[in-house]
Structure 1
Amino acid sequence: MKRTICFAVLIVAMQAKAQDYKTFPMWNTALPMEQRVNDVVSRLTLEEKVAQMLNATPAVSRLGIPAYDWWNEVLHGVARTPFRTTVFPQAIAMAATWDTNSLYRMADFSALEGRAVHNKAIEQGRTAERYMGLTYWTPNINIFRDPRWGRGQETYGEDPFLTASLGRAFVRGLQGEDPRYLKAAACAKHFAVHSGPEPSRHADNFNPTVYDLWDTYLPAFKTLITQSNVAGVMCAYNAVNTQPCCGNDLLMNDILRKQWNFKGYVTSDCWAIDDFFKYHKTHPDATSSAIDAVLHGTDVECGQTVYKTLVDAVNNKLITEAQLDISLRRLFTIRYQLGMFDPVSMVPYAQTPASVLESQPHQAHALKMAQQSIVLLKNTNNTLPLNKNIRKIAIVGPNADNRISVLGNYNGIPSKIATVVDGLREKLGSNVEIIYEKGVNFTNDTLLVYTDLKKQFAFNGQQGFKAEYYKGRELEGSPVTTRTEDAVDHSWQRGDIIATGLTATNFSARYTSTFTATANGSTMLEVEADDGYRLIINGKQVIDAWQRNRWGARTHKLETKKDSTYQVILEYWQGDDNANVAIRTGNFQRTDYAALTKKLSSADAIIFAGGISPQLEGEEMPVNAPGFNGGDRTSILLPAVQTNLLKALKATGKPVVFVMMTGSAIAIPWEDANLPAIVNAWYGGQSAGTAIADVLFGDYNPAGRLPVMFYKNDQDLPGFSSYAMDGRTYRYFKGTPLYPFGFGLSYTTFNYAAVKAPARLKKGEKLSISCKVTNTGKRNGEEVVQVYASYPGATGKAPLRMLKGFKRVALKAGETQAVTFTLNAEDLMLINEKDGSQYQPTGKLRISIGGGQPDVKNKTTSNVIDQFVTIQ
């Protein structure tokens, strides 16, 4: 009895001691936040401080600090979590809406879903897991200067003003407008001068002119930092003027912290600090790299390795602990602003219920933005909209039923995805016959025609595969679970439950079966997976993709004899993000164009859903298909195989509508000259197919506008690795584009009149310009009113024209609406070539207002009106 009492007393004493931290000022909600932050930093040991500067921070139980991972993504909806979330259109598609209100609402909804995910993580004790936090590394506000860049799909386009305007709306929606708390923390990336090439990004050094730096690459960052109070900034992989961005004197110390007075936190891009000594060779080792990054204000190392050397660096007096404290105060300030150290009852966002995930308003907005993003590029003789009473319609192409393409990259996984085929079936129902044929792949016309996998694979006499799942990536130890699966065709979100005690994060699997040949000849075995895998047949390894593979498919040709058996083993590992693995069998067949077009010729109309895909363009990808390299493109032309199929489809004599999906500008000179209707649908998110069907059949009048210029051919492009802006984007390209920046057609027409602007303006004064815009057609529709400024007589370097205002307005048929813009003095300034300063020229200022740029064709806006203002 005495021992029991003593033990009980000991437990109580330990519990009391564990709760002592609640008396510390860091937990006192009545104190100023700054005092609480200073208190928590003062209580950390050196080792604890360094650990808190890594993206995955451990718990400090003696202070009650929970584990937390700073790394999370919300590019176009909450991404990569184990929960189903709403997936909005890809960023470049959202930019095509030219609607700041829609982008604000999307960010607001995403922040709510992010809060719900974080709250569930707290309930389940999973705050240490990646993609569960509230610090989102978005938006990507790099300038999409070259269409070959595979990550351009993540941006808001090629124009600094449009990018800044949309980025500002996103930050405001994501971070909320509570005076005390952040709903979530946004992060402007990648700072700075970063837009490819992907394969060399870890070693590249760019030397932009002072003019280009301040005219093109910095304005959006300046807006988000000085006007939008963005919580975070991510520094880029590349070097600028020979210094890595995360340790750059000009960018980090002078501009970001001194000139712009940025008080938020900075994270490195992932493993970017390693690049200092591994690829840039600007530093001798990890320790010197870590020290330099911290001294330049990089507060978090995404990568988990280099900053660990800071403990020894402090002990060896190479850097002071007080210098680490500067970063720690920034980091804990963000966590306090997110309410992580306050009671749930005090933090309104902490009470967000799980019911917001994929809620009806969120799904409706995903559809709305997909509709808004679609750009009608061509519509000869009113080919569109199609008549719903048609008898038969054909849908062809590699994007017709592609769920990967509609979701883009940096995406979540919704409960329901609508491809083009899905959208058409839902729209037309059973009254219209729909013929679907893939036709060709993106870059070739040799298709793998799949066989019924279940008939040929068995293990120990039972159909399917023996599946063994292991913790860790190396198939080590005993499997956590062993079971029989009918087929290997899995798609898990990070953190999904695979089996008791095993989630879809950092695991490996072995799938074993016996393949029985049904005929003499050969069979193709195709493995499609992300991360790493290898295929072993009869003890011989025939596919080796064990090193990080991201996403891709490989095939092996198996020579077979009828009724012979072959042992097949597929080994797979997954590290982070999503887990996808599948094995299929079949045989390659070359597309028979004559047979295909004969089958389709009975249709009343043919829709070709082509373009490209996140399977081809994206972040540092192991893709080496014709026209693509490492995630980037080597040619902006539509892959020739698709043009060839379109020529065959056109020869049927039936109207051919080209629905193009892409994250970047594609050169389609033949298609523009020969096809009656072309629609650019980007990567439209979970409701892409529904939105496309709505546009094709006239239930939605398209009003998307291009956030990038579409060039005619590869010869129009300067060198990819050159960051000089001469000849790039609509602001400096002197040629004739295929489709200009800001372009987009409608099923109705618009006219501009009654423009009012001052004839003279003093330097420093605001300029007000107004007009009346009328829907002169027979359909209700939306118009994007655009304002451009230029100085025809400028003596120094200046853009050909500059977007300085835009508004998306809805007009019923015959309706007129007055629209007014106010341009401040900074909007009317140019950049000094010598020092990057802003100045306002005197003389003639040309202001153009209308449905697109001046001096370019726009078939549904009848006029763009110029006003000349004298600046005194």
Structure 2
Amino acid sequence: MKRLRLLCALIGFTSLPVVADMASLSKEAFVSNLINQMTLEEKIGQLRLIAIDEKMTPEKIREEIAAGRIGGTYGSVSRYVNRPMQDAAQQSRLKIPMFFGWDVIHGHRTIFPIGLALASSWDIGAIELSGRIAAKEASADGIDMTFAPMIDIARDPRWGRTSEGFGEDTYLVSRIAKAMVQAYQGTSPNAPDSIMASAKHFALYGAVEGGRDYNSVDMGLARMYQDYLPPYRSAIEGGAGAMMVALNSINGVPAASNAWLMQDLLRKAWGFKGLVISDHNGINDLVQHGVAKNHREAARLAIRAGVAMSMNDFSYGPELKGLLESGAISQSNIDNAVREVLGAKYDMGLFEDPYRRIGVASEDPADNNAEYRLHRAQAREVARKTLVLLKNENGLLPLKKEGVIALIGPLAKSTVDIMGSWSASGVPAQSVTIYDGLKNAMNQGSLIYARGANLTEDLEVLKYLGESEIKNDPRPAAEMIDEAVKAAQQADVVIAVVGEPRSMSHEAASRTSLDLPGRQSELITALKATGKPLVLVLMNGRPLSIGKEQKLANAILETWYSGSEGGNAVADVLFGDYNPSGKLPITFPRSVGQIPNYYSHLNTGRPYIAGALRNYTSQYFDQSHGPLYPFGYGLSYTDFSLTDMALSSTTLSKTDNLVASVMVKNVGQRDGETVVQLYIRDVVGSVSRPVKELKNFQKIMLKAGEEKAVHFSINENDLKFFNAQLEHVAEPGEFRVQIGLDSQNVKEQSFELLSEQGSG
């Protein structure tokens, strides 16, 4: 009855006989009736997404909401802050509820590993768990929508936002995109413990030139459709309720004014019915892009292109009314945008209950940051799955929980950096550092700590990234290195925690170098000179150029930014309480000069030939060919063997399936997991095709000595690509199937896809 009375009030009905009719209204009819009751000012208000800041105090924002001039906010992340704003909405003429959004990227109060780390797990169940818990925690704080998942393909690690996404591969990112959307939204985005997903950044943001944030993208349509667009479509297939528009231009047209992108592709070709939101200031940025001379023109371009909601709005509110009166835009431009906003609110269940996620004041937590609100066990379990063992010379790892360990490095005690960028409502004081994790785990022996180096000595870089986060030690570099060497000399083994501060792997944090910043490389050289076994623990949000350091280290563990329980998870792996199983979701180049260096490249007309002298092939003559670590790579504390592959047939018709099988055996002494990866190459096509493409994978657990058959079913859909005419086709001919534990070391067989005539 509460819902029915609210619906009646919203569209102007008051008599009980009409209530029964209201109960039978569809979403479309309800939204249309409501739009018919709205004034122009109320419609424009629904298109504005506003943050509380120094210009918009809580009192001012409540006044604007009550007047119907704001449709949603972002950045308000507690029930007691959001409740008064929802109260204000219920005092407005039509009582249209607010929604509250926030960047819940890899956890909310419990911080899970960053996106690039989650992808390293190759464990869809673990990834879904992280998203489901994030949704439960965020919804419990009155949040209705997350601006996530970030599903941009990233093949240039100079880009700071590489850390936020899921890597370089179209198939893997697409699988994760759908899983994360479904985890956030649960059984339905209207459930009290679910939040609506707003996938981002549409489109191609990860392909910015030079890896420089906000830069341009210039890309042919075939490559766009084949490599970069599928994750967004996968998010839509997963039910994403909203899509955030990218800040970059695409072939000269900014995404925020790109009618082809948002009308022809997103809505018409893909059938997206949800809400389209600009990125922060994305509409105003059209002036700087050079396609609009002022905010008025920017608003006109964006609303006509299909941007429904303006984040950090300074364009729609002031300009849409005048644009409509002048005839520069139509009433349908506004109404269509309002329909999307109201539809999203309907889907989030806010018309049924505006306080669905805010709840009642008597149930508010006394302390938002209370320990009981965290999900530490799950965070630790997920984090362990994301760690990638890159090197383990002579089985140095796992370590014993005894003796003397020297823990060195500027990141070893950092509660802030271990959370990574976009750490939502995470509290640094609640993070378990690597120092904490090792200390917690050691039964006997002792732990010696020395900082060893600062993360940067460049004062301009320090100022740019923020001195509040990067707290430099004022001592001379030589003194810090000397202290670290003395600590190492007293130890049985040295663990150096090195990498980047999280502010270097963030928005607006593109780099021209992938080297370890500051004096960390010099520190590693000095530690190696002690002759003590040296373990490198990397903490970073992008692949780094660690060729020199890789040679010096006896073992290397990639931990990314592993979240609230990161220190315990790292200790679990270093001491062998957990056998690492992570695999790289992105290629590690030898140097920045190799970029882009992704595994699924085209072969070229003159592919590299190993061992040939001065051959006229595609290579750099001054550096070893190929990556330092390939896509899909990761070691274990046990060893796995694969038999030769068997195919169920050497031919495949367009209507049948073919099965590729291998036997995988754990030939080591420990139980462990590994990821069996399926790649396919189209040998001859109407256009040049990649040397291989990931098409499936299975993560399996095997006890020591156990073996298991792994089967992959292949059909025509796995062989399709976008040809020069943008037709999605599978062309008859030879295909090579590859199965391996990474993208380079594979077993291979061939089969032929038959033409329709041949299959008859």
Which of 489, 493, 502 aligns to 1:605? It is 493
Q: State how far apart, in whole Å, the 2-side matches of 1:869 and 1:687 are.
A: 47
Superposed CA deviations along residues 688-716 of structure 1, whole A, max 9, x for unmatched, are 11111111110010000000000111221
Which of 406, 418, 431 aligns to 2:432? It is 418
Q: State how far apart, in whole Å, the 2-side matches of 1:320 and 1:265 are.
A: 19
Alignment partner, residue 46 of structure 2: 52
Q: Quote how far apart the aligned CAs of 1:432 are.
A: 1.8
The answer to whether the aligner puts 1:826 opposite 2:708 as a matched pair is no
Q: State how far apart, in whole Å, the 1-side matches of 2:279 and 2:647 are.
A: 47
Superposed CA deviations along residues 19-43 of structure 1, whole A, max 9, x for unmatched, are 9968498995543222221222222
Please tell me whether the aligned partners of residues 259 and 306 of structure 2 are also in contact (alpha carbons under 8 angstroms). no
Larger radius of gyration: 1
Q: Quote how far apart the aligned CAs of 1:838 are.
A: 2.0
Report matched runs for 1:310-321 at 5 Å.
310-321=320-331
Relative distance call for 1:200 and 1:711 in structure 2 (3 A) is closer
Relative distance call for 1:746 and 1:662 in structure 2 (3 A) is same
Alignment partner, residue 567 of structure 1: none
Q: Quote how far apart the aligned CAs of 1:276 are.
A: 1.2
Q: Quote how far apart the aligned CAs of 1:739 are.
A: 0.3
Please tell me whether the aligned partners of residues 210 and 835 of structure 1 are also in contact (alpha carbons under 8 angstroms). no
Alignment partner, residue 71 of structure 1: 101
Instruction: Give the SS at the match of 1:789.
Output: strand
Report matched runs for 1:137-286 at 5 Å.
137-178=147-188, 183-195=194-206, 196=208, 201-202=213-214, 204-225=215-236, 227-277=237-287, 279-286=288-295
Higher strand proportion (structure 1 or 2): 1
Alignment partner, residue 363 of structure 1: 376
Superposed CA deviations along residues 574-595 of structure 1, whole A, max 9, x for unmatched, are xxxxxx7999996656435445
**Structure 2 gaps, min length 5:** 1-5, 51-69, 72-88, 609-624, 755-760
Please tell me whether the aligned partners of residues 730 and 740 of structure 1 are also in contact (alpha carbons under 8 angstroms). no
Calculate percent identity across the aligned residue pairs: 32
Letter in 2 for 1:75: I
Please tell me whether the aligned partners of residues 276 and 309 of structure 2 are also in contact (alpha carbons under 8 angstroms). yes
Instruction: Give the SS at the match of 2:401.
Output: coil
Q: State how far apart, in whole Å, the 1-side matches of 2:211 and 2:637 are.
A: 42
Instruction: Give the SS at the match of 1:659.
Output: strand
Q: State how far apart, in whole Å, the 1-side matches of 2:48 and 2:482 are.
A: 59
Instruction: Give the SS at the match of 1:117.
Output: coil
Alignment partner, residue 628 of structure 1: none
Report matched runs for 1:437-586 at 5 Å.
437-444=450-457, 552-553=466-467
The answer to whether the aligner puts 1:752 opposite 2:666 as a matched pair is no
Instruction: Give the SS at the match of 1:607.
Output: strand
The answer to whether the aligner puts 1:90 opposite 2:114 as a matched pair is yes
Q: Quote how far apart the aligned CAs of 1:306 are.
A: 0.6
Q: Quote how far apart the aligned CAs of 1:295 are.
A: 1.6
Alignment partner, residue 103 of structure 1: 127
Which of 389, 392, 412 aligns to 1:379? It is 392
Q: Quote how far apart the aligned CAs of 1:867 are.
A: 2.3
Superposed CA deviations along residues 70-105 of structure 1, whole A, max 9, x for unmatched, are 531111012xxxxxx111011110010001111112
Q: Quote how far apart the aligned CAs of 1:350 are.
A: 7.0
**Structure 1 gaps, min length 5:** 1-14, 79-84, 119-132, 447-525, 529-544, 554-579, 621-630, 719-726, 857-863
Q: Quote how far apart the aligned CAs of 1:288 are.
A: 2.2
Which of 811, 816, 840 aligns to 2:707? It is 816
Superposed CA deviations along residues 587-619 of structure 1, whole A, max 9, x for unmatched, are 656435445313320101000000112122311
Q: State how far apart, in whole Å, the 2-side matches of 1:232 and 1:658 are.
A: 41
Relative distance call for 1:364 and 1:831 in structure 2 (3 A) is same
Superposed CA deviations along residues 191-223 of structure 1, whole A, max 9, x for unmatched, are 112124699655x43220122211211111122
Q: State how far apart, in whole Å, the 2-side matches of 1:582 and 1:667 are.
A: 22
Instruction: Give the SS at the match of 1:632.
Output: coil
Instruction: Give the SS at the match of 1:672.
Output: helix
Q: Quote how far apart the aligned CAs of 1:758 are.
A: 2.5
The answer to whether the aligner puts 1:698 opposite 2:709 as a matched pair is no
Which of 559, 571, 585 aligns to 1:681? It is 559
Q: Quote how far apart the aligned CAs of 1:791 are.
A: 1.8
Superposed CA deviations along residues 357-401 of structure 1, whole A, max 9, x for unmatched, are 866883212111110000000001000001123x21100011111
The answer to whether the aligner puts 1:731 opposite 2:564 as a matched pair is no
Instruction: Give the SS at the match of 2:310.
Output: coil
Alignment partner, residue 802 of structure 1: 693
Instruction: Give the SS at the match of 2:601.
Output: helix
Letter in 2 for 1:104: E
Higher helix proportion (structure 1 or 2): 2
Q: Quote how far apart the aligned CAs of 1:868 are.
A: 1.2
Alignment partner, residue 300 of structure 1: 309
Q: Quote how far apart the aligned CAs of 1:645 are.
A: 1.1
Instruction: Give the SS at the match of 2:199.
Output: strand
Q: State how far apart, in whole Å, the 2-side matches of 1:583 and 1:274 are.
A: 35
Q: State how far apart, in whole Å, the 1-side matches of 2:650 and 2:373 are.
A: 50
Instruction: Give the SS at the match of 2:284.
Output: helix
Relative distance call for 1:581 and 1:808 in structure 2 (3 A) is closer
Superposed CA deviations along residues 623-676 of structure 1, whole A, max 9, x for unmatched, are xxxxxxxx1111112236212111111111110100001111011111222211
Q: State how far apart, in whole Å, the 2-side matches of 1:764 and 1:54 are.
A: 50
Instruction: Give the SS at the match of 1:152.
Output: helix
Q: State how far apart, in whole Å, the 1-side matches of 2:324 and 2:697 are.
A: 52
Please tell me whether the aligned partners of residues 395 and 434 of structure 1 are also in contact (alpha carbons under 8 angstroms). yes
Q: State how far apart, in whole Å, the 1-side matches of 2:255 and 2:359 are.
A: 35
Q: Which moved more, 1:414-423 or 1:728-737?
A: 728-737
Relative distance call for 1:780 and 1:442 in structure 2 (3 A) is same
Instruction: Give the SS at the match of 1:205.
Output: coil
The answer to whether the aligner puts 1:868 opposite 2:747 as a matched pair is no
Relative distance call for 1:709 and 1:136 in structure 2 (3 A) is same
Relative distance call for 1:808 and 1:192 in structure 2 (3 A) is same
Alignment partner, residue 78 of structure 2: none
Superposed CA deviations along residues 751-771 of structure 1, whole A, max 9, x for unmatched, are 223644431101354443333
Q: How many residues align?
A: 679
Alignment partner, residue 479 of structure 1: none
Relative distance call for 1:99 and 1:285 in structure 2 (3 A) is same
The answer to whether the aligner puts 1:618 opposite 2:506 as a matched pair is yes
Instruction: Give the SS at the match of 1:378.
Output: strand
Relative distance call for 1:189 and 1:595 in structure 2 (3 A) is closer
Instruction: Give the SS at the match of 1:147.
Output: coil
Please tell me whether the aligned partners of residues 181 and 240 of structure 2 are also in contact (alpha carbons under 8 angstroms). yes
Letter in 1 for 2:244: M
Alignment partner, residue 433 of structure 1: 446
Q: State how far apart, in whole Å, the 2-side matches of 1:607 and 1:829 are.
A: 47
Which of 406, 423, 428 aligns to 2:418? It is 406
Letter in 2 for 1:286: H
Superposed CA deviations along residues 429-464 of structure 1, whole A, max 9, x for unmatched, are 5x3211111110123499xxxxxxxxxxxxxxxxxx
Q: Which moved more, 1:141-150 or 1:291-300?
A: 291-300
Q: State how far apart, in whole Å, the 2-side matches of 1:341 and 1:67 are.
A: 7
Please tell me whether the aligned partners of residues 99 and 808 of structure 1 are also in contact (alpha carbons under 8 angstroms). yes
Relative to the length of structure 1, the TM-score reads 0.73
Letter in 1 for 2:323: A
RMSD after superposition: 3.1
Please tell me whether the aligned partners of residues 265 and 330 of structure 1 are also in contact (alpha carbons under 8 angstroms). yes
Please tell me whether the aligned partners of residues 291 and 310 of structure 1 are also in contact (alpha carbons under 8 angstroms). yes
Relative distance call for 1:103 and 1:313 in structure 2 (3 A) is same
Instruction: Give the SS at the match of 2:503.
Output: coil
The answer to whether the aligner puts 1:843 opposite 2:717 as a matched pair is no
Q: Quote how far apart the aligned CAs of 1:783 are.
A: 0.7
Relative distance call for 1:420 and 1:739 in structure 2 (3 A) is same
Letter in 2 for 1:792: V
